[in-house]
Structure 1
Amino acid sequence: MKKFLLLLLFCHVSSPVQHSLKFLLSGSSGVPNFPEIVVAATVDEVLIGDCDSNKKIVEPEQDWVKTFLENNPQQLGFYNHECFEVLPINFRAAMDNFKQRFNQSGEVPLVSLLQKSPSSPVSCHATGFYPDRAMMFWRKDGEELHEDVDLGEILPNHDGSFQMSVDLDLSSVPAGDWRRYDCVFHLSGVEDDIVTKLDKAEIRTNRENPSDRTIPITAAVAVLAVVLAAATGFIFYKKKKANLPPQSPDNNSELSEELNPENPDLHPSWFL
């Protein structure tokens, strides 16, 4: 049976008896002290051999596999070539393609300055970076700050990239000293940091511009004035009507006749 499995594995001989041969490949990019490529081979879910890019050696996990490789050094050379030359090249190409397709090169995240209100801390926010090994901090005159600073967690985005932020409390900092501060974003494996100067003009906020409130406030005042004028006129009318002497039916008839538009003696200016 061992010889048959060897033939199945290395010579791809078919047989009416079905067995499963699997190669499991895992890869990583930019992870310190972790192999870039790890390959494991199993037959019927039993591990028979593996290799990784750090050890640079194919290791048989079964005695019969070890014996076969010792007796067939050319086959061992083939597996070494595949594990340590072919697979790393293909893996790097696949990773580059993946980063380009999902815009996750890890080198061009978006860094913004955010503030909720004039009394709130200023948040330096970075998003769209990959992988999640990043540092972010505030500096004053080129020195990293630790007081009045609140560093947030690295959080995932829906597209597989990441985001993070660090807040700076400026409540006791004069406006003239803001230019002395900047925010630094550093992504592991990337040589150049992203430095963002603290500039009030560059801060994004959801506060409403005071000029935007002028129109609705003016409109509200105008409506209120109209309502007050109408109420005042109505009260004045009610009081004046209450002070008029009662009129007889004849007087009412005469008044109706005077207001009749068909009266030739009535000047058109009465209707203005």
Structure 2
Amino acid sequence: MERLLMLLLLSRVSSPVQHSLKYFLTGSTAVQNVPEFMGAAEVDGIVMGYCDTDTKIVELKLELMKIFFRINPDQLEEYNRECFKNYPIFFRALINSLKQLFNQSGGVHVLQRMDACEWDEETGEVHGFLLYAYNGEDFLSFDLETLTWIAVKPEAVTIKQRWDTHKYGNEFHAMFLTRICPDLLRTYVVFLKSLLERKELPSVSLLQKTPSSPVSCHASGFYPDRATLIWRKDGEEIHEDVELGEILPNHDGTFQTSADLNVSSVPPEDWRRYECVFHLSGVEDDFVTRLDKADIRTNWVSPPEFPVIVVIGVVIGLVLLPLFIVGLYMWRRNNNGFRRANTLDTSPQLSAISLDRISSPDQYCSED
């Protein structure tokens, strides 16, 4: 997997002592209903704020950060200046240069950048990253040891050579990644301590729609969203016949996710070899749920087993059905043969027959 995409995935996972601050910047051209420039900041994978050139406002996602920036308005003003002035101009110019390098004219083009730092709370160790991607592929990265750029694509060599001559700019990148960003991160971690340390444990259930449907391992009510849900067989993680769901928000601020296991080819005696494992970042113990039919919740109802007496009753009913039909169409004989009665016969002979003594349709007929 490409380095930038890998780092984006790793940004969702952190340990209790290792923290991260990441800035994601995106510029684009000719993308309908998408702002020309967007930016977002994350602390330990939690979105702190967002901005774009359409709304022209820094939207703070956390109530604690709203309080923080009321206390530190200069920082908020700096974010506004970067979001709506400096970076949109820079990204627009860089995209135009990249289109020339790749011999491109119009069309959709997307430029992404990530500035990030990581800080280990126990050791004090700091790491920094600055990466560019163009149209979904890694393009340039900054080397903190040499203070030079690494061209991932041949087309990036020209820009690398040009940027390597900007000594002041490269020194500023190094200072931001190793000093300014970690200092900001430490400040944010202290201010967001109650939020970052919040842990809500999930409720894990096994669900199945029908006996032939996949078994869904469903975890809900956990916080934060840095979690994994997998299926294991004999203690080993499996991917075949497993479909992983997304982590989705609940209405109360917690999260939910699921992982489906196709059991159509699993013999009943092998079910207990499978287990669903939920891991929440920062929590040592995993939630392990063994695959057991007795623990599966379902809305499916088995068809009722019909007692023998009911079956006999149905058979008798089918046998008597012709008799019932004959009873509806009463016939009587006259000199010209049989004719259908249009109205109920109220002759004394018929009226005198007690209903509880009628046992044959012949009793409805008499000879003239």
Give the Cα–Cα distance (whole angstroms) in 2 for the partners of residues 136 and 114 of structure 1: 15
Deviations 1:98-143 (A, max 9, x none): x6xxxxx42x211011112222211111011111110011111111
Match of 1:233 among 298, 321, 324: 324
Alignment-derived partner of residue 254 in structure 2: 161
Kindly state the Cα deviation for residue 165 of structure 1 after the two structures are TM-superposed.
0.7
* Root-mean-square deviation (Å): 4.6
1:120 aligns with 2:213: yes
Pick the structure with greater CA Rg.
1
SS at match of 1:232: helix
More helix by percentage: 1
Kindly state the Cα deviation for residue 92 of structure 1 after the two structures are TM-superposed.
4.2
Alignment-derived partner of residue 333 in structure 2: 243
More strand by percentage: 2
Alignment-derived partner of residue 73 in structure 2: 42
Give the Cα–Cα distance (whole angstroms) in 2 for the partners of residues 154 and 91 of structure 1: 22
**1:47-196 correspondence runs (5 A):** 88=190, 92=193, 105-106=199-200, 108-196=201-289
Alignment-derived partner of residue 32 in structure 1: 19
Compared CA separation, residues 93 and 148, structure 1 to 2 (3 A): closer
Give the Cα–Cα distance (whole angstroms) in 2 for the partners of residues 160 and 109 of structure 1: 13
Structure 2: gaps spanning 5 or more residues: 1-14, 22-42, 45-63, 79-118, 120-185, 337-346, 357-368
Structure 1: gaps spanning 5 or more residues: 1-28, 48-53, 55-82, 100-104, 247-254, 261-268
Q: TM-score, normalised by structure 2?
A: 0.40
Give the Cα–Cα distance (whole angstroms) in 1 for the partners of residues 297 and 355 of structure 2: 59
Kindly state the Cα deviation for residue 256 of structure 1 after the two structures are TM-superposed.
3.5
Give the Cα–Cα distance (whole angstroms) in 2 for the partners of residues 42 and 257 of structure 1: 108
Deviations 1:38-70 (A, max 9, x none): 745237x856xxxxxx7xxxxxxxxxxxxxxxx
Q: TM-score, normalised by structure 1?
A: 0.52
Compared CA separation, residues 156 and 229, structure 1 to 2 (3 A): same
Kindly state the Cα deviation for residue 245 of structure 1 after the two structures are TM-superposed.
4.9
Paired residues in the alignment total 184
Kindly state the Cα deviation for residue 161 of structure 1 after the two structures are TM-superposed.
1.0
Give the Cα–Cα distance (whole angstroms) in 2 for the partners of residues 32 and 225 of structure 1: 76
Alignment-derived partner of residue 297 in structure 2: 204
Give the Cα–Cα distance (whole angstroms) in 1 for the partners of residues 282 and 272 of structure 2: 29
SS at match of 1:32: strand
Give the Cα–Cα distance (whole angstroms) in 2 for the partners of residues 214 and 154 of structure 1: 44
Alignment-derived partner of residue 266 in structure 1: none
Identity of aligned residues (%): 46
